[in-house]
Chains A and B, each alone.
Chain A
Amino acid sequence: MTQGKELPKVLILDDEMQMRFYLMTLIKSIGCEPILAKNGAEGLDILSHIKPAALILDIMMPEKGGGPVYQELVTRPDFKDIPIIFFSGVDRDAFFHYIKMLNVTLEHPVPEPAIYVAKDADPEYLKEVIKTCVYKNTP
């Protein structure tokens, strides 16, 4: 990996190798440093020693999916200010419904995701979303 000098880091959490490559290319193209993880556990592990400017999170992943990862992140104060960009093929309404249903079972309900980008969104749009998150966090 190219060791980052001053570049803002973006953590990519996606189980599909090709998707990770695409997001990596996209993040490099906006002048950020991509960090890759292929599942929830790996992502959380990275987060324990690196603080990225933004996190791109897939939902449907084997083992620990995006839902449980999100649930864990929002309850921890040290991760609170990392913007989370959901990037998934799961229907937006279906996922928001899932969060609502999940909240019924939780003692501390999780907030609705702030940013949700469909997997078939235009790369240019995704770029804008990531840029907004990153530059809000690294002025």
Chain B
Amino acid sequence: MNGKTIKPTRLLLVDDEEGIRKVLKITLESAGYEVLLAADGETGLDRFIRENPDIVITDIKMPGIDGIELLKRIKNLNPETEVIMITGHGDMDLAVKSLQHEAADFITKPIDSSDLESAVKKAEDRMAIGRNIKSYMDDLKILVEEKDKKLNESEKLITIGQTIAGMSHAIKNIAGGLKGSSFVLEQGIEHENRQYLKQGWEMMKGNIDKITKLSLDLLNYAKTTRLNFRMENPNTPAREIVQLMGHKAKEKRINFKFHPSFEKKLTLMDCDSIHNCLLNLITNAFDAFDELPDQDRQRQVTLSIATQEKEIVYRVKDNGSGMSEPVKTALFKEFITTKGMNGTGFGLMTTKKIIEEHHGKIDFNTETGRGSEFIIQLPLKTMDS
């Protein structure tokens, strides 16, 4: 844009009468404006395009492109340009028409120089207001963007805070467990009590396992911020799990079934992280039998994958102990564990975060004593969609 006050405002004056052009040029120049001249509409438009004046003053009645047409074209090229119309005595209709096409003002012939100057001045003021509004809007936009960024950052900080809070609980438990186990071991050594030694040792091993698992969980949680999306067969993240967990299923006498999707469609996903989600859900499903008596029921865990029109649905279903009301309501909302020393509370939080990063949904049904089902829905993002 032109300089604000140092550069004089540039006017383009379009009139087919040479006398008027001359007189007005002198008047306006002596008022401190820079004046460009054009003798007809065509030349006016041409100069407008080449020299981009701030304000245009044009006669309405001209041969060829007349004032109204020129006004329309200029407004089309640059809506911010102020256009002042010069009208003859009886041209009230034309004057009104020009205002409808967003002319800034009109002055009537014979032209009074002070009328002209005040019209130009008004146009200038309007332009200044427009510029101010624009700069306010820009500032506002920057302000909003900054606030948005800050909000995102504080949201992130809240999440980090929650992560640390969840972590400190898990770590305190481990530290407590280690202190407890060393106390039991000391008692065992002091009283030569083999049972104490055995129990203390078991407790210590359990806590070592737990801290190993916690560090792995933390690593997985951290990974969710940089996912690596690729086109994958939705069955791929599940395949390894079936082999991996087959052994454990036998050990826990669980009938573990896998129903893959038969569709050949590929979709955009981070295979490793989806693998982690499924592994987490299946591990949970396997653990759902831990509290149940051995011969209680035929233990079933099923992982099924279905490719639908717009989504991929993973289902992990067990007929284990199900969840109690308080567990149900706290699930996904906080770090909770129902597994005592064996859980960190990170598993489902991480799973939820990964699914959200995929713009998917995770949900569950559960019935106390009858089992639970977790459902992951991922939007199908194929090559052709």
A interface residues with partner B (beta carbon < 8 Å): 15-19, 21-23, 25-26, 29, 60, 62-63, 65, 89-91, 94, 118-123
Contacts and interface: CB of A to CB of B under 8 A. Distances in A.
Nearest to A94: B165
Given A25-B187, A91-B165, 4 more contacts: A18-B203, A19-B341, A22-B203, A63-B324
B25 to A, nearest CB: 79
B336 to A, nearest CB: 8
A23 B187 CA distance: 12
Nearest to A118: B172
Given A21-B184, A89-B173, A15 B179 contact: no
B33 interface: no
Given A16-B340, A62-B324, A89-B173, A21 B199 contact: yes
B181 interface: yes
Contacts, number: 69
A119 B173 contact: yes
Given A18-B177, A62-B327, A119-B173, A29 B203 contact: no
Interface residues of B, number: 27
Interface string B146-173: 0000000000000000000100111011
Nearest to B339: A62
Given A63-B324, A94-B165, A122 B179 contact: yes
Nearest to A22: B180
Contacts of A90: 169
Nearest to A58: B340
Contacts of B374: none
Interface of B: 165, 168-170, 172-173, 175-177, 179-181, 183-184, 187, 196, 199, 202-203, 206, 324, 326-327, 337-338, 340-341
B176 A26 contact: no
Nearest to B182: A123
A91 B169 contact: yes
B187 A18 contact: no
B333 to A, nearest CB: 14
A60 B176 CA distance: 14
A17 B176 CA distance: 14
A65 B327 CA distance: 11
A3 to B, nearest CB: 19
A18 B202 contact: yes
B184 A22 contact: yes
Nearest to B175: A120
A23 B324 CA distance: 27
B169 A120 contact: no
A19 to B, nearest CB: 6
Contacts of B173: 89, 119-120
B181 A22 contact: yes
A25 B191 CA distance: 11
B175 A18 contact: no
By Cβ-Cβ distance, the 4 closest A-B pairs, closest first, are A119-B176, A22-B180, A120-B175, A89-B173
B176 A120 contact: yes
The residue in B183, B203, B206 that gathers the most chain A C-beta atoms within 10 A of its C-beta is: B183
B199 A15 contact: no
A41 to B, nearest CB: 12
B180 A19 contact: yes
B203 A21 contact: yes
Contacts of B199: 18, 21, 25
A17 B180 CA distance: 12
Nearest to A62: B338
Contacts of A122: 179
Nearest to A87: B176
Contacts of A29: 187
Nearest to A65: B326
A94 B166 CA distance: 11
